[in-house]
C-alpha cells in the first residue's frame, strides 16, 4: 500500500466515531473464575456499573431487627404499605429471619404475608430472586454500616445478622425463583447449592440442555439450566468447562450477545492473529490473560519449557494471517465497556502495517476492517436494543405493582384487625 494512502487510511481510523456505553445495561462482572468455587465471594445480581456494583440494600434495616426497634420497624412497615417496594422486600426478609430464629413478629404480620404480596406484585421469579439478593447482602461483609456508625454501636450489640440463617434462606429463595424460571437465580444456585445441596436432587435423564459433568450434579444441572434460560454469566462459566471448541466459542458468543462484556474481550483474544506456536508465560496479572490461558490450555495443550503454553491454530480459530474477527470483537468490547475508541484504531493500524511487536506481519486489509466495523455496529446495536427491552420489561413489573399497594394496605389492616380481635370475634 502506498505510504500516502496508508496515512490517509490511518487518519480515517483515528477519526472513526465510537458509540457511547449505555450505563446500566452491559454486564461487567469480573469474579467468575474465583467465584465459581465454594467459599469465595460472589454477586447474585449481575454488575452493570462498577462505580455502583451492589444492589440497593439498606444497611440499617438489619439493625431494626437486631435491636427490636419498634418505632423504626413501624416506620419501615409504613414505607412498605405506601408504595416502597424495597421496604416491602426488606421487611419480608427480616420477618422470615425472625421466624427462623423463633422471635415474635416485629412488623405486624407473618413473613408469608409479606412474601406473598411481593410475589403477587412482582411475579414469582423476580420477587423470590430479589428476596434472595437482599438476604445475601445482609451477610457479614456484604451489607455494612459506615465505619463511624459501626464503631459507635455498644459493644454488647451485634451489627449484623448471623451468616448461617441468611445463607440458608438465600438458597431457599433462589430455589423458588429458579422454579419460576429466573435465569440469574439458577446461575447463583449453581454456585451456592454446593454448600446447601438439595438431598432429594436427581439428575433428569433428559435435561433438554447442555450439561458438563463435574463433581456436583446439582450444580452442573443449574449451570446448564441457567445458560439455556439466558444467563450471560452462566454461558461464560459453562464455556470454561466444555471440552469441544465449537461449543466453547458458541457459548462465549451467546454470552456476549446476552450483554457480558468480558465474553467479547475473551473472544477478541482467542481470535487474535498469532504465529502457529506462541509461548505465553504462566499466570500473569491480567484477568483476560488468565481466562485465555485456561481456555486454550484445554483445547491445545501441552505446556512447553518453563510452563509456557504452545498454541496451535486449528479448526474454528482464525487463520493466523487475518485479524478481522479479533478487531470485530474488540470493537464490541470497547463499546460495552465505554472505553476509548482510539484503542480500536490503534490496533487496526498495527494490524495493517505489521512489522511491530504485536503483529509481526500485516494481518488486516481496509476491506476486512470496513466489513468488521459494519458487523460490529449492527450487532452491538442489536445487543443494546435487546438489553433495553429486558430492562423495560423489569421496570414494567414495578409499574404494574403500583396499583396493588392499596390492596396491600387493606389486606394488612384486615389481618391486623383479625389478630387483635377477641378470640370469639375472629374470623
Task: Quote the pLDDT of residue 244.
Answer: 82
Enter the DSSP assignment of 321: T
Q: Cα angle at 356 between 351 and 359, to 5 degrees?
A: 40
Task: Quote the pLDDT of residue 379.
Answer: 97
Q: What are phi and psi of 89, to 5 degrees?
A: -70, -40
What is the Cα–Cα distance from 262 to 264, expressed in whole angstroms? 5
Beta bridge partners of 280: 309
What is the Cα–Cα distance from 100 to 97, expressed in whole angstroms? 5
Q: Is there a domain that residue 426 lies in?
A: no
**C-beta of residue 318 within 8 angstroms of C-beta of residue 271:** yes
Residue 294's Cα: distance from chain center in Å?
Answer: 21
88's enclosing H/E stretch is helix 85-100
Domain carrying residue 354: 13-28+260-276+313-388
What Cα–Cα distance (Å) separates residue 139 from each residue in 62, 72, 118, 143, 156?
A: 10, 21, 21, 6, 19
At 39, is the secondary structure helix, strand, or coil?
A: coil
> What confidence tens digit (pLDDT) does each residue in 94-122 have?
999 999 999 999 999 999 999 999 999 99
Q: Is there a domain that residue 113 lies in?
A: no
Task: Quote the pLDDT of residue 341.
Answer: 83
Q: Is there a domain that residue 325 lies in?
A: yes
Q: Is there a domain that residue 373 lies in?
A: yes
Enter the DSSP assignment of 27: B
Task: Quote the pLDDT of residue 315.
Answer: 38
User: DSSP string covering 356-400, please?
Assistant: SSS-SS----HHHHHHHHHHHHHHHHHHHHHHHHHHHHHHHHHHH
Enter the DSSP assignment of 15: H
Q: Is there a domain that residue 400 lies in?
A: no
What is the Cα–Cα distance from 403 to 389, expressed in whole angstroms? 23
Nearest to 118 by CA among 423, 377, 398: 398
Count up the domains in the chain and report the number: 1
Gyration radius of the chain's alpha carbons: 26
Q: Is there a domain that residue 323 lies in?
A: yes
Q: What is the pTM of this model?
A: 0.82
Q: Is there a domain that residue 271 lies in?
A: yes
At 309, is the secondary structure helix, strand, or coil?
A: strand
pLDDT mean values, one per 10 residues, the chain (427 residues): 47 45 73 46 78 69 90 96 95 95 92 97 96 86 47 52 88 97 96 92 93 91 97 92 87 96 90 60 43 52 34 42 91 92 92 89 93 96 96 90 95 82 47
Q: Is there a domain that residue 120 lies in?
A: no
Amino acid at each position: 500500500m502506498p505510504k500516502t494512502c496508508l496515512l490517509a487510511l490511518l487518519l480515517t481510523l483515528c477519526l472513526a466515531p465510537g458509540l457511547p456505553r449505555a450505563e446500566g445495561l452491559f454486564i461487567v462482572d469480573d469474579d467468575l473464575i474465583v467465584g465459581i468455587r465454594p467459599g469465595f465471594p460472589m454477586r447474585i445480581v449481575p454488575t452493570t456499573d462498577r462505580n455502583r456494583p451492589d444492589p440497593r440494600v439498606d444497611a440499617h434495616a438489619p439493625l431494626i431487627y437486631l435491636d427490636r426497634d419498634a418505632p423504626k420497624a413501624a416506620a419501615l412497615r409504613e414505607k412498605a404499605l405506601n408504595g416502597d417496594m424495597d421496604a416491602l422486600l426488606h421487611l419480608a426478609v427480616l420477618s422470615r429471619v425472625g421466624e427462623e430464629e423463633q422471635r415474635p413478629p416485629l412488623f405486624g404480620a407473618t413473613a408469608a404475608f409479606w412474601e406473598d404480596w411481593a410475589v403477587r406484585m412482582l411475579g414469582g421469579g423476580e420477587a423470590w430472586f430479589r428476596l434472595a439478593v437482599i438476604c445475601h447482602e445482609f451477610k457479614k461483609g456484604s451489607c455494612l454500616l459506615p465505619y463511624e456508625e459501626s464503631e459507635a454501636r455498644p459493644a454488647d450489640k451485634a451489627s449484623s445478622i448471623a451468616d448461617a440463617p441468611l445463607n440458608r434462606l438465600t438458597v431457599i429463595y433462589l430455589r423458588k425463583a429458579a422454579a419460576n424460571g429466573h435465569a440469574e437465580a439458577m446461575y447463583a444456585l449453581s454456585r451456592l447449592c454446593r454448600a446447601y445441596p438439595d438431598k432429594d436432587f436427581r439428575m433428569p435423564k433428559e435435561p433438554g440442555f447442555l450439561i458438563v459433568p463435574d463433581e456436583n450434579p446439582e450444580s452442573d444441572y443449574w449451570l446448564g439450566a441457567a445458560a439455556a434460560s439466558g444467563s450471560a454469566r452462566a454461558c461464560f462459566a459453562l464455556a470454561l468447562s466444555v471440552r469441544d471448541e465449537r461449543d466453547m466459542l458458541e457459548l462465549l458468543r451467546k454470552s456476549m450477545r446476552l450483554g457480558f462484556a468480558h465474553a467479547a474481550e475473551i473472544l477478541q483474544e482467542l481470535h487474535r492473529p498469532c504465529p502457529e506456536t506462541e509461548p505465553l508465560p504462566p499466570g500473569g496479572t491480567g484477568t483476560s490473560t488468565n481466562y485465555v490461558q485456561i481456555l486454550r490450555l484445554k483445547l491445545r495443550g501441552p505446556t512447553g519449557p518453563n510452563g509456557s503454553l504452545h498454541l496451535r491454530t486449528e479448526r474454528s480459530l482464525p487463520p493466523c494471517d487475518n485479524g478481522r474477527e479479533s478487531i470485530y470483537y474488540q470493537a464490541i468490547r470497547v463499546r460495552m465497556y465505554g472505553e476509548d475508541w482510539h484503542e480500536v484504531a490503534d490496533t487496526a493500524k498495527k494490524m495493517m502495517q505489521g512489522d511491530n511487536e504485536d503483529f509481526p506481519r500485516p494481518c488486516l486489509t481496509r476491506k476486512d476492517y470496513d466489513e468488521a466495523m459494519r458487523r460490529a455496529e449492527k450487532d452491538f446495536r442489536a445487543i443494546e436494543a435487546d438489553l433495553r427491552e429486558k430492562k423495560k420489561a423489569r421496570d414494567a413489573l414495578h409499574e404494574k405493582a403500583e396499583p396493588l399497594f392499596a390492596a396491600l394496605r387493606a389486606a394488612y389492616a384486615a389481618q391486623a384487625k383479625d389478630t387483635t380481635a377477641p378470640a370469639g370475634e375472629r374470623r
